[in-house]
Amino acid sequence: MAPDFYNDETRVQLNPLTILRFEDQEFVTLQHPSNSKTLKIKADIILVLLDALTWKTVAELCKMWPEQLHDEVKKHLGMLYDTQVLVTTESELAEAKPAALLPETGDNIIINIENHFWMLKDVVRTETYRRAIERNIKAGDIVLDLGAGTGILSFFAAKAKAEKVYALEKRQDLALVIRKLSEENNLTEIVEVLQQSSHLLEASQLDPRPNIMISEILGNAILEENILEFTMDARDRLLAPGAKLIPSKLKIDVFAFDSGNLADKRLEVEAIEQQYQLHFETLKTVLINKPYMRMQTVNPLAIKIMSDPVEVKQFDFYQMTDAHFESKITLIARQEGSIDSFCAYFTAWLDEETTLSNSPWSASTHWTQLVFQFAQKRWVKAGEEIRIVFQYNGSSQLWFEADLN
């Protein structure tokens, strides 16, 4: 029987491997980890989802929303269940992780490579990977390209004289693109395309075993493509012992700033109130209490930087055993002024000498930065401490709190 999301006692939990992708400031796409089902929802509903990382009743999830929005939230829970990113029983949860890959059949598949065009056109990103591949891959190497996309990194590896390259890509349309491009480039003898999500791949499908893994599953929200989980899983199950990892290390930094004239969400709510001649004070309260998470390009010249960057966390891909973390950080105000936003960015070490970063001070790439913006400003004196907390609990999503009172 289908679960009743209009019953307050129905319990729900998010499938822990759900992939969240931020389309823009307004919308988030949720993707079931191993099939093609996706759902595009308003970013504000994300607040409900983040609460469903552990078992919650429908009533508990609705509690943080004004009553007039409860039906809307319940409707979304039903849609999330249909997309299989939400589960309602322990057995569904157990099945959610190793869910069977639902094969799509037929040749008439729609090929959606718009995002991959951005990545290919991002020569800073792509040439940095090419340099690292050329420096690290030697004749005879067996390479796993985890998340091959259009196959570009696999082709670099094949050209660097790898003996064999497994181009592993979960999407069927992209797997087809990689096959066609390998043919066009006469690389089919070297590049073997595997259409599967890495966590569902059996080690026995990789014979011989790879001694190098390359992967680029870094997102604007840094961890939302599950780079930590997928890298650890592949390292432990799929690669030869001691295999080289590219990237091998990831660091997240954060700094505080004053956004100046950047859009204040409360002003947008005021515009909505004016348009519909209704009161939406409750939504403004939600915006004040929780940071509004947005993907935006942070131009250091267009904002007032209020602290030096401080390291949130470093991940050594060779050593790490747990993706979850909580990091409590203190930022020191550089000068007197107001703070309303925090910018997080990553640096990935492709090898000892080659780094790639979406820091606002690095060469610009297709990545934006991850910004947590509060609807109220805190006035600080030079040298004053601002405490923040970052948390990651394996849900693809970094959680953030700051002491702005």
CA 364 to CA 234: how far, in whole Å?
Answer: 30
Q: How many residues bind ligand SAM (CB under 6 A)?
A: 19
Q: Which residue type sits at 144?
A: L
Q: Report which of 96, 82, 99, 101 is spatially closest to residue 39, judged by C-alpha positions.
A: 82
**Which positions from 105 to 144 touch ligand SAM by CB under 6 A, shown as an x/- string?**
--------------x-------------------------
In this structure, the number of other CB atoms found within 10 A of the CB of residue 386 comes to 19
Q: How far is the CB of 348 from ligand SAM (least distance, A)?
A: 12
CA 65 to CA 379: how far, in whole Å?
Answer: 29
Which of 168/348 has CB closer to ligand SAM? Answer: 168
Which parts of 227-256 interact with ligand SAM (CB under 6 A)?
A: 230
CA 8 to CA 70: how far, in whole Å?
Answer: 10
The single residue among 99, 152, 191, 388 that binds ligand SAM, judged by CB under 6 A, is 152
- Residue 394 carries which DSSP code? S
Residue 225 within binding range of ligand SAM, rule CB under 6 A: yes
Which of 145/340 has CB closer to ligand SAM? Answer: 145
The single residue among 86, 133, 143, 174 that binds ligand SAM, judged by CB under 6 A, is 174
CA 41 to CA 235: how far, in whole Å?
Answer: 33
| Stretch touching ligand SAM by CB under 6 A, among 58-66, 83-91, 135-143, 170-178 | 170-178
| Full DSSP string of 9-48 | T-EEEE-TTPEEEE-SSSEEEEE-TTSS-EEEEEGGGHHH
Q: What angle do CA 145, 128, 170 make, to 5 degrees?
A: 25
| Stretch touching ligand SAM by CB under 6 A, among 8-16, 77-85, 168-176, 308-316 | 168-176
The single residue among 56, 76, 147, 294 that binds ligand SAM, judged by CB under 6 A, is 147
Which parts of 204-223 interact with ligand SAM (CB under 6 A)?
A: 216-217
**Which positions from 341 to 370 touch ligand SAM by CB under 6 A, shown as an x/- string?**
------------------------------
Which of 157/333 has CB closer to ligand SAM? Answer: 157
Q: How far is the CB of 327 from ligand SAM (least distance, A)?
A: 24
Instruction: Write out the H or E segment, with its range, that includes residue 213.
Output: strand 212-215
Q: How far is the CB of 321 from ligand SAM (least distance, A)?
A: 18
Task: Report whether 276 contacts 320 (CB < 8 A).
Answer: no
Which of 180/328 has CB closer to ligand SAM? Answer: 180
The single residue among 21, 62, 74, 149 that binds ligand SAM, judged by CB under 6 A, is 149
In this structure, what token pair is assigned to residue 28? 């988030």
Beta bridge partner(s), residue 348: 250, 356
CA 336 to CA 358: how far, in whole Å?
Answer: 27
β-pairing, 337-349 vs 249-258, is antiparallel
| Stretch touching ligand SAM by CB under 6 A, among 146-154, 184-192, 356-364, 366-374 | 146-154
CA 325 to CA 98: how far, in whole Å?
Answer: 23
Which parts of 256-275 interact with ligand SAM (CB under 6 A)?
A: none
Interacting residues toward ligand SAM by CB under 6 A: 119, 146-150, 152-153, 168-171, 174, 197-198, 216-217, 225, 230
